[in-house]
Amino acid sequence: MEAKTINSSKKEEQPRPPVVVILGHVDHGKTSILDYIRKTKVAEKESGGITQHIGAYQIEIPSPNSQQDKKKITFIDTPGHEAFSAMRSRGAKVADIAVLVVAADDGVKPQTKEAIKHILHLNLPLIVALNKIDKPTALPDKVKKELAENGILVEPLGGQVPLVLTSAKTGLGIDELLEMILLVAEMENLSNDINKPASGVIIESRLDPKKGAVATLLVKEGVLKIKDCLAAESTFGVIKSMENFLGQQIEEAFPATPVLIIGFNEVPPVGEEWQVMPSLEEARQKVMAKAALEKPKREMAEILDINPEQKVFNIILKADVSGSLEAIYETLKSIPQDEVIIRILKAEVGEINENDIKLAEAAKARIYGFRTKAQNLAEKLAERKNIKIKTSPIIYELVQIVRHDASLLLNPQINRQKIGKVKILAIFKTEGKKQIIGGRVLSGQIIRQGLFEIIRQEEKLGEGKILQLQQNKQPVISVGKDKECGLQIESEVLVDKNDILEIFQEEKIKRNL
Ligand code: GDP
Q: What is the pLDDT of residues 17-67, one digit of tens each?
A: 999 999 888 899 999 999 999 989 886 555 555 567 788 899 998 877 777
Task: State the pLDDT at residue 8.
Answer: 46
With b for 16 or more beta-carbon neighbours within 10 A and e for fewer, the 305-331 pattern comes to eeeeeeebbbbbbbbbbbbbbbbbbee
SS (H, E, C) 311-350: EEEEEEEEECEHHHHHHHHHHHHCCCCCCEEEEEEEEEEC
Task: State the pLDDT at residue 301.
Answer: 46
Rg of the chain over all Cα atoms, to the nearest angstrom: 34
Examine the pLDDT at 83 and tell me if it is beyond 60. no
The residues, ordered by sequence, that sit 6+ positions from 154 with a Cβ below 8 Å of its Cβ are 128, 144, 147, 148, 161, 162, 163
Helix (H, G, I), strand (E, B) or coil at 158: coil
pTM for this structure?
0.62
Task: State the pLDDT at residue 199.
Answer: 95
pLDDT band at 298, cuts 50/70/90?
Answer: very low
Q: What is the pLDDT of residues 152-179, one digit of tens each?
A: 999 999 999 999 999 999 999 999 999 9
Spacing of C-alpha 326 from chain mean position:
3
Q: What is the pLDDT of residues 457-479, one digit of tens each?
A: 999 999 999 999 999 999 999 99
Task: Please tell me the residue having the least CA distance from ligand 1 atom 11.
Answer: 27
Q: What is the pLDDT of residues 367-384, one digit of tens each?
A: 999 999 999 999 999 999
pLDDT (average), residues 73-97: 68
Is any ligand 1 atom within 6 A of the Cβ of residue 112?
Answer: no
Task: State the pLDDT at residue 308.
Answer: 62
pLDDT (average), residues 384-410: 92
Q: Ligand 1: distance of its center to the CA of 512 in Å?
A: 40
pLDDT band at 123, cuts 50/70/90?
Answer: confident
Is any ligand 1 atom within 6 A of the Cβ of residue 168?
Answer: yes
Task: State the pLDDT at residue 272.
Answer: 86
From the CA of 167, give the closest atom in ligand 1: 23
Helix (H, G, I), strand (E, B) or coil at 177: helix
Task: State the pLDDT at residue 476.
Answer: 95
From the CA of 34, give the closest atom in ligand 1: 7
From the CA of 32, give the closest atom in ligand 1: 7
CB atoms under 10 Å from CB of 204, counted, come to 26
Residue (of 273, 243, 278) closest to 260 by Cα position: 243
Is any ligand 1 atom within 6 A of the Cβ of residue 31?
Answer: yes
Is any ligand 1 atom within 6 A of the Cβ of residue 265?
Answer: no
Q: Ligand 1: distance of its center to the CA of 84 in Å?
A: 20
